[in-house]
């Protein structure tokens, strides 16, 4: 390891890359717990334990925890259950002025123990930088999977492209400086995904929107995979949570994704 003269922090990016290779997986299991408060912890443990062998990462969505009594404690317990070699991405879609963002970052990394977060770039790069700490990773919302009637992300720029391309540009610029910035790009618009991939050829994309939201896995991988067959985390939340056998559902998704990887690499 290169001695850079300061404390070295293995980054969450390295943890992610190691995990992707070790598990041969690009699956991100979303933890969006629904159901009765007194049963939800048991189901969360079951989903984590059953799916862990097949996943590259877990993604608890903060809203599903905050909406429960003692939700922060529940989130802490759940993150603690995840094997230590599997990165946890806290999907909080944070994004406030820098000194407030520092508190969100402390919450995500110190209070509940996440490795990575999702951040909304609308307020600018100073809302993102507090999360880009050594050893951590940030996924910046670029082109999200929802299809709103009035989409700011789809506003066309006079210089060409869309506002979502600007968000991707911010994420790329920040990654040049911090080396731990990925992007959130939805699976529901493969054309936009391909465009963002072209603009950001090297970065990791967290991709929600397959399954319940209708995104197509094949075209998502075609558009988003890097030539090395990596660079994407395909998220599935409801489809795994609701499966009778969560482990089998995660394994099937892993196999489906992997079946496309060589084809895309050799294309």
131 phi and psi angles, rounded to 5 deg: -90, -15
- Which is the catalytic residue, given 15, 59, 93, 143? 93
* Separation of alpha carbons 198 and 223, rounded Å: 9
Least gap, CB of 7 to ligand LLZGTKA7 (angstroms): 33
The answer to the question of residue 115 lying near ligand LLZGTKA7 (CB under 6 A) is no
The strand pairing partners of 61, in sequence order, are: 91
How far apart (Å, rounded) are the C-alpha atoms in residues 126 and 212?
34
Between 68 and 107, how does the x/- string for binding to ligand LLZGTKA7 read (CB under 6 A)?
-----------------------x----------------
Residue from 213, 230, 256, 258 touching ligand LLZGTKA7 (CB under 6 A): that is: 213
211 Cβ contact partners less than 8 Å away, ≥ 6 residues apart: 236, 238, 239
From residue 171, how far is each of 142, 181, 264 by CA, in Å? 8, 6, 25
**Interaction mask 181-200, ligand LLZGTKA7, x per CB under 6 A:** ---x-x--------------
93 catalytic? Reply is yes
Contact 226, 205 (CB under 8 A): no
Nearer to ligand LLZGTKA7, 48 or 184 (CB): 184
In whole angstroms, how close is the CB of 260 to ligand LLZGTKA7 at the nearest point?
Answer: 18
Which residue stretch of 109-117, 120-128, 234-242, 243-251 sits at the interface with ligand LLZGTKA7 (rule: CB under 6 A)? 234-242
Would you give the end-to-end CA distance of the chain in angstroms? 35
Minimum Å distance from CB 204 to ligand LLZGTKA7?
Answer: 15
Residue 256's φ and ψ, nearest 5 degrees, are -60, -45
* 74-82, 122-130, 157-165, 232-240 -> range binding ligand LLZGTKA7 (CB under 6 A): 232-240
Beta bridge partners of 207: 234
Among 12, 61, 133, 254, binds ligand LLZGTKA7 (CB under 6 A): 61
- Please tell me the distance from the alpha carbon of residue 101 to that of residue 88, in angstroms, as a whole number: 19
Which part of the chain contacts ligand LLZGTKA7 (CB under 6 A), choosing from 38-46, 158-166, 169-177, 210-218?
A: 210-218
Q: What is the dihedral of CA 54, 218, 260, 209, to 10 degrees?
A: -20
Element (H, E) at 137: strand 137-143
Give the residues lining the site for ligand LLZGTKA7 (CB under 6 A).
30, 32, 61, 91, 144-145, 184, 186, 208-209, 211-213, 235-238
């Amino acid at each position: 390891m290169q001695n850079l003269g300061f404390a070295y922090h293995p980054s969450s990016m390295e943890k992610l890359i190691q995990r992707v290779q070790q598990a041969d997986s690009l699956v991100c299991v979303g933890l969006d717990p629904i159901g009765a408060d007194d049963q939800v912890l048991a189901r969360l443990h079951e989903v984590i334990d059953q799916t862990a062998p097949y996943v590259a990462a877990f993604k608890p969505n903060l809203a599903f925890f905050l909406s429960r009594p003692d939700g922060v404690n529940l989130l802490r317990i759940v993150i603690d259950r995840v094997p230590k070699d599997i990165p946890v991405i806290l999907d909080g879609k944070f994004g406030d002025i820098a000194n407030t963002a520092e508190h969100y970052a402390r919450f995500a990394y110190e209070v509940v123990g996440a490795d990575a977060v999702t951040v909304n770039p609308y307020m600018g790069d100073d809302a993102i930088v507090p999360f880009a700490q050594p050893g951590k990773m940030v996924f910046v919302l670029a082109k999200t999977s929802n299809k709103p009637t009035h989409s700011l992300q789809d506003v066309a720029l006079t210089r060409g492209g869309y506002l979502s391309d600007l968000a991707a540009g911010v994420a790329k610029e920040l990654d040049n400086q911090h080396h731990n910035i990925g992007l959130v790009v939805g699976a529901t618009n493969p054309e936009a995904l391909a465009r963002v991939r072209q603009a950001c050829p090297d970065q990791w994309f967290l991709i929600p929107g397959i399954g319940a939201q209708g995104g197509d896995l094949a075209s998502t991988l075609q558009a988003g995979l890097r030539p090395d067959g990596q660079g994407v985390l395909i998220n599935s939340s409801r489809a795994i949570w609701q499966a009778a056998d969560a482990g089998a559902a995660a394994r099937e998704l892993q196999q489906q994704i992997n079946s496309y990887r060589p084809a895309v690499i050799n294309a």
